[in-house]
C-alpha cells in the first residue's frame, strides 16, 4: 500500500513520509518586489526566412500556422512576436521581377535534413505575405549585411516598409517593430563572409553605414514606431573587446545617428551544438542547473544593455544549434526544458524569448508544412507527414495560460531546494493567480522502476489559499515524441486547434500535491 502523505494545514510541513520524497515550498500571496513584469508574448518565434512563405502562405494564409499562433493569442490577448531572418537573412537579395521568392538549397544530409538556402532572391509580394499573420502581430525583419552589399539591404528595407504601409497589413493592425541588419556577424570570420581578422569595430562601422541608409529606406526616425534591433551575436566576450554589446557600445554604435534609433539588443543562445553530429543527452538539456548556467552567462550583457535604456531579448534560441539533436530536441523532455528556460529568462532581465524555427528543423515547436523527409536523418518518409505541432509547443501554451490576458502579469521564481524541481508564481497586479511547478527528472521508456514522484507541501505567506484548480501536462516518457496532453486536451490535431475535454482536479492546498518525474503542474487560485 502506498504511503499516505499529509501536510500540516497551516505550516505546510509533511507529517508522514515513507518511500515518496517530499518538498516544502513557500509562496507569497502578494507579489514580492522581485516579481518581474512578464510580456504576454514571452514565447515568440524566430523563423528562417528562406522558406517564410511556406509558413505564412502566398496568395492565402497557411491556416495551420495561423491557428497555432492564434491559440496563444486567445490565452494572452496578443499574438507572439515574429522575427524573420536568421542564417538565410545574410543570403537574401531583392529583385523586383521576382514575385515571392526563388531559393537555392544545398543537398540534404543525415545531419542536416533540411538545410538553409545558400541563395534567396525575393520580391515585393514576399514581404506582403505578412498580411496573413494574426491581427496585431508585431514583426522584426532581417536584411542582409553578410554579403556587404548595401544596395541589397536598401532595396529589401524599402520593400519591407512598402508592405507594412499597405492597407491589408495596416488594417489588420500588423506592425513592423524593427529591422535587424545582419545575423550573427561575430561568426562572419568563420563562415567566409569576412576576413579571419574581422572585428567588432569593423562591424560597428559597417552597421552604422548600412543603418544610415536603411533608416532612410524604411522610414525609421526618432518618432516612428519601427526601430532597429542591434547585435544579433551568436555569442559574447562579455567585455569591451571582442564581440559583445559592451564592445559595440564602447565603439560608439549608440551615439551614431542610426544607432540612436535602436530599441533592442538581441543575442542568440543554444544549449549546445549538433552541427557535427554530436548531440547532447536529454537529461542534460532538461537539468535545472544547466538551464540556469546557460542563461546566466549573459548577466553582464543584460546589465550593460539595460544601463543604456534598451530592451534585451534572446532573438534566436533553442535547444541545440544546427536545427537540434535527434531524440532530444523533438521530445517531450524538450517541452519541459522550453518552459523552464523561458520562465527563468524573465528572472534575469530577458524580456522575450524567440524560439528559432525552420521547415523540418528537429527543434521546431510547429511544423507548418508537409514534410517528405525525416527530420531525424533525412531519409525519405514512407508517406508525407502533414503539418503538426511538436512537444515543445505545449510549453508555449502553458506559459501563455500562466501569464493570462490581464496585461499586468508578473512572475517570480520560487525558492525550491531541489535540483530537479522548479517553480514560478504568477501574479495579476499584486495578487497571486497561478503557480507552475516543473519536475525535470527524466523518466524514459527504458526505465523499469516505478515512476518517481515528489509530494509538494505548500505554505502561503501574507495570506491563505484553501483550494486550487490543478492542470497537468501528461507525458508518457521524456523521450516520447507525441501523445502529450495539457489538462486532457491535445494540440496534435490536423488543424492545430485543441481537441478533447478540459480535465482539472480541485485540491485542498493543506494536503499538498504530487508531481511525477517529467511532469508540469499548474495550480490556479
Closest CA to 340 of 389, 301, 291, 382: 291
Give the largest CA-CA distance in the chain.
75
CA distance 443 to 518: 6
Which segments in the chain show pLDDT lower than 70?
A: 1-6, 8-20, 277-279
Decide if 210 contacts 150 (C-beta within 8 A). Answer: yes
CA distance 514 to 95: 59
Closest CA to 263 of 330, 310, 298: 310
Cell numbers of 523, please?
Answer: 495550480
Please name the residues in contact with 140: beta carbons below 8 A apart, sequence gap of 6 or more. Answer: 81, 82, 83, 84, 85, 176, 177, 178, 179, 180, 229, 315
pLDDT at 163: 98
CA distance 424 to 502: 23
Classify burial at 86, counting beta carbons within 10 Å of its beta carbon; exposed 0-12, middle 13-18, buried 19 or more: buried
pLDDT at 280: 75
pLDDT at 21: 80
CA distance 452 to 466: 27
CA distance 36 to 352: 12
Cell numbers of 177, please?
Answer: 517593430
Cell numbers of 355, please?
Answer: 524560439
CA distance 292 to 307: 22
- Residue-wise pLDDT tens digits, 495-506: 999 999 999 999
Cell numbers of 471, please?
Answer: 492542470
- Residue-wise pLDDT tens digits, 4-59: 456 764 444 444 444 468 999 999 999 999 999 999 999 999 999 999 999 999 99
Q: CA of 203: how far to CAs of 183, 245, 318, in Å?
A: 12, 12, 25
pLDDT at 277: 65
Count the Cβ atoms, other than its own, within 10 Å of residue 506: 9
Which stretch of DSSP H or E encloses residue 314?
Answer: strand 311-321
Pairing of strands 175-181, 227-233: parallel
Q: CA of 427: how far to CAs of 37, 239, 468, in Å?
A: 9, 36, 15
pTM: 0.96
Cell numbers of 158, please?
Answer: 524599402
Decide if 256 contacts 208 (C-beta within 8 A). Answer: yes
Domains and CATH numbers, the chain: 21-36+409-524 (2.60.40.1180), 62-403 (3.20.20.80)
pLDDT at 16: 40
Amino acid at each position: 500500500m502506498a504511503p499516505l502523505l499529509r501536510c500540516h494545514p497551516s505550516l505546510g510541513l509533511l507529517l508522514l513520509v515513507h518511500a515518496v520524497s517530499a518538498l516544502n515550498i513557500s509562496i507569497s500571496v502578494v507579489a514580492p518586489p522581485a516579481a518581474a513584469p512578464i510580456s504576454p508574448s514571452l514565447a515568440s518565434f524566430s523563423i528562417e526566412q528562406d522558406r517564410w512563405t511556406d509558413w505564412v502562405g502566398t496568395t492565402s494564409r497557411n491556416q495551420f500556422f495561423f491557428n497555432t499562433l492564434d491559440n496563444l493569442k486567445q490565452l494572452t490577448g496578443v499574438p507572439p512576436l515574429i522575427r524573420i531572418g536568421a542564417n538565410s537573412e545574410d543570403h537574401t537579395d531583392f529583385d523586383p521581377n521576382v514575385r515571392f521568392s526563388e531559393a537555392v538549397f544545398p543537398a540534404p544530409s543525415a545531419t542536416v535534413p533540411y538545410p538553409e538556402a545558400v541563395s534567396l532572391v525575393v520580391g515585393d509580394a514576399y514581404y506582403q505575405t505578412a498580411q496573413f499573420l494574426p491581427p496585431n502581430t508585431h514583426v522584426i525583419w532581417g536584411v542582409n549585411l553578410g554579403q556587404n552589399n548595401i544596395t541589397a539591404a536598401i532595396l529589401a528595407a524599402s520593400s519591407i516598409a512598402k508592405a507594412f504601409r499597405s492597407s491589408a497589413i495596416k488594417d489588420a493592425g500588423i506592425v513592423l517593430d524593427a529591422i535587424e541588419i545582419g545575423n550573427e556577424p561575430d561568426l562572419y570570420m568563420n563562415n567566409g563572409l569576412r576576413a579571419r581578422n574581422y572585428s567588432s569595430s569593423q562591424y560597428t562601422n559597417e552597421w552604422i553605414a548600412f543603418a544610415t541608409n536603411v533608416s532612410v529606406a524604411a522610414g525609421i526616425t526618432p518618432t516612428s514606431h519601427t526601430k532597429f534591433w542591434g547585435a544579433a551575436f551568436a555569442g559574447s566576450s562579455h567585455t569591451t573587446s571582442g564581440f559583445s554589446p559592451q564592445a559595440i557600445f564602447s565603439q560608439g554604435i549608440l551615439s551614431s545617428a542610426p544607432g540612436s534609433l535602436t530599441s533592442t539588443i538581441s543575442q542568440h543562445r543554444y544549449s549546445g551544438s549538433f552541427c557535427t553530429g554530436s548531440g547532447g543527452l536529454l537529461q542534460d538539456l532538461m537539468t535545472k542547473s544547466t538551464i540556469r548556467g546557460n542563461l546566466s552567462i549573459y548577466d553582464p550583457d543584460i546589465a550593460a544593455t539595460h544601463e543604456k535604456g534598451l530592451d534585451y531579448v534572446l532573438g534566436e534560441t533553442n535547444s541545440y544549434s544546427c536545427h537540434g539533436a535527434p531524440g532530444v530536441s523533438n521530445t517531450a523532455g524538450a517541452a519541459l526544458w522550453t518552459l523552464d528556460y523561458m520562465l527563468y529568462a524573465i528572472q534575469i532581465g530577458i524580456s522575450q524569448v524567440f524560439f528559432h524555427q525552420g521547415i523540418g528543423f528537429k527543434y521546431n515547436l510547429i511544423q507548418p508544412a508537409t514534410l517528405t523527409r525525416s527530420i531525424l536523418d533525412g531519409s525519405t518518409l514512407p508517406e508525407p507527414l502533414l503539418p503538426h505541432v511538436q512537444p515543445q509547443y505545449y510549453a508555449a501554451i502553458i506559459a501563455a495560460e500562466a501569464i493570462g490576458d490581464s496585461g499586468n502579469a508578473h512572475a517570480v521564481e520560487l525558492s525550491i531546494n531541489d535540483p530537479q524541481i522548479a517553480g514560478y508564481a504568477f501574479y495579476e497586479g499584486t495578487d497571486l493567480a497561478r503557480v507552475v511547478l516543473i519536475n525535470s527528472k527524466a523518466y524514459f521508456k527504458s526505465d523499469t522502476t516505478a515512476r518517481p514522484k515528489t509530494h509538494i507541501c505548500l505554505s502561503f505567506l501574507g495570506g491563505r489559499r484553501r483550494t486550487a484548480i490543478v492542470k497537468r501536462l501528461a507525458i508518457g516518457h521524456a523521450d516520447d515524441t507525441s501523445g502529450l496532453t495539457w489538462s486532457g486536451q491535445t494540440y496534435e490535431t490536423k488543424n492545430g486547434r485543441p481537441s478533447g475535454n478540459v480535465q482539472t482536479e480541485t485540491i485542498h492546498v493543506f494536503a499538498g500535491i504530487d508531481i511525477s518525474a517529467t511532469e508540469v503542474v499548474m495550480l490556479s487560485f
